[in-house]
Amino acid sequence: MSLINQANALNREIALRQLKIATGKAQPRTEDGASFFVLPNKMRNQVRGKAMALDNIGDAKDELSLAETGLIQIDDLLGNMRDIVVRGANDTLTSEQRDDIHRELMMLAMAIDEVAARTKFNEGAAGEMPLLDGSFGHTYQVGPNEEDKFHVEIGEFTSEALHVNLAENEDDPEAGINVLDNAGAKRSIALIDFAINTVKDQLDELGGIQTKFTSLQNILSTSMVAEESVASRFGNADLAREQVELVKLQLFSQLATAQTASANAASLRLLGALMN
């Protein structure tokens, strides 16, 4: 009976080793070691969550890069606008020349509005998202856990919001810019300078966010490699070792089978002798 029990135990161990080799898992059945089964799966869930977070961060960086591109274009237009207004702050200009400058400024203000209107994420798709119209406020999931969120807001960058639209009332300094006279031009330079600083502040903020996102990408990538390594070490079978152990067990099984057959034969001989 002892030999039969040993043979059965060997067969169960052989079956387990074969299952490990077939699945590649160190603990293919939960009952063989629940803690070793749960730990690798938990880590792999974290790795999958971090992989999705990396995709989210990539999308966020693309979106914010598009906003940065629009802001850089607006900054260039404001620079051109400032040059023209500086030229308009000169009493040597005739009224006709001031009218020409006024038209140039109007075209630049319209160009700013065009950039602000066309700077959209997923432009042309259903649900396209404007980035520079003052409605932008996005929360990004930048990690595998619920609390791993990052919120970004972007201001409005139309000519009116920047106070560089063409003033209808030259006596209202908040109404916009004008070069109808020297005083209006000088006031307009101050308004444009404020607009340029507003754009640069937003660019600086977005640049800092992009740097943080890049750092998060590096941290997530590094931790994913480490966690995958731990999960593999605990969760993956050492196939070479399992193959060696399987061969040893199969040899023991063959030996046990031979011993059982020999014992059975000896019992039959003894029984025959007693009966004779």
pLDDT digits (tens, 9 = 90+) for 210-237: 999 999 999 998 888 877 766 655 555 5
DSSP letters for 90-111: -TT--HHHHHHHHHHHHHHHHH
Question: Is 164 or 33 the better-scoring residue by pLDDT?
Answer: 164
Convert 63-82 into a string of H (helix), E (strand) and C (coil): HHHHHHHHHHHHHHHHHHHH
What CA–CA distance (Å, rounded) separates 230 from 213? 26
* pLDDT tens string 172-214: 655 689 888 888 888 999 999 999 999 999 999 999 999 999 9
Per-residue confidence (pLDDT) for residue 122, from 0 to 100 = 85
What CA–CA distance (Å, rounded) separates 141 from 143? 6
pTM: 0.70
The total number of residues shown for the chain amounts to 276
What CA–CA distance (Å, rounded) separates 241 from 250? 14
What CA–CA distance (Å, rounded) separates 63 from 58? 9
Q: Alpha-carbon dihedral of residues 178, 181, 183, 187, nearest 10 degrees?
A: 10
The DSSP letter of residue 13 is: H
**How far from the centroid of its chain's Cα atoms is residue 4's Cα?**
58
User: Side-chain half-sphere of 127: how many Cα atoms within 13 Å?
Assistant: 0
Query: Where are the domains positioned within the chain?
Result: 2-24+237-275, 44-233
Asked if 173 contacts 194 with a C-beta cutoff of 8 angstroms, the reply is no
Per-residue confidence (pLDDT) for residue 257, from 0 to 100 = 63
Bridge partners of 141?
149
* pLDDT tens string 41-84: 777 778 888 999 999 999 999 999 999 999 999 999 999 999 99
pLDDT band at 1, cuts 50/70/90?
Answer: very low
Question: Is 111 or 225 the better-scoring residue by pLDDT?
Answer: 111
Question: Is 12 or 148 the better-scoring residue by pLDDT?
Answer: 148
* Strand spans (E) along the chain: 120-121, 129-130, 137-141, 149-153
Tell which residue, 161, 162, 158, has the closest CA to residue 196: 162
**How far from the centroid of its chain's Cα atoms is residue 90's Cα?**
52
**3-state SS assignment for residue 141:** strand
CA angle 262, 268, 269 (to 5 degrees): 90
Q: How is domain 44-233 classified at the CATH fold level? A: f41 fragment of flagellin, N-terminal domain (1.20.1330)
Q: Alpha-carbon dihedral of residues 244, 249, 250, 251, nearest 10 degrees?
A: 90
Mean predicted confidence (pLDDT) in 83-100: 89
Report CA Rg, the chain: 38
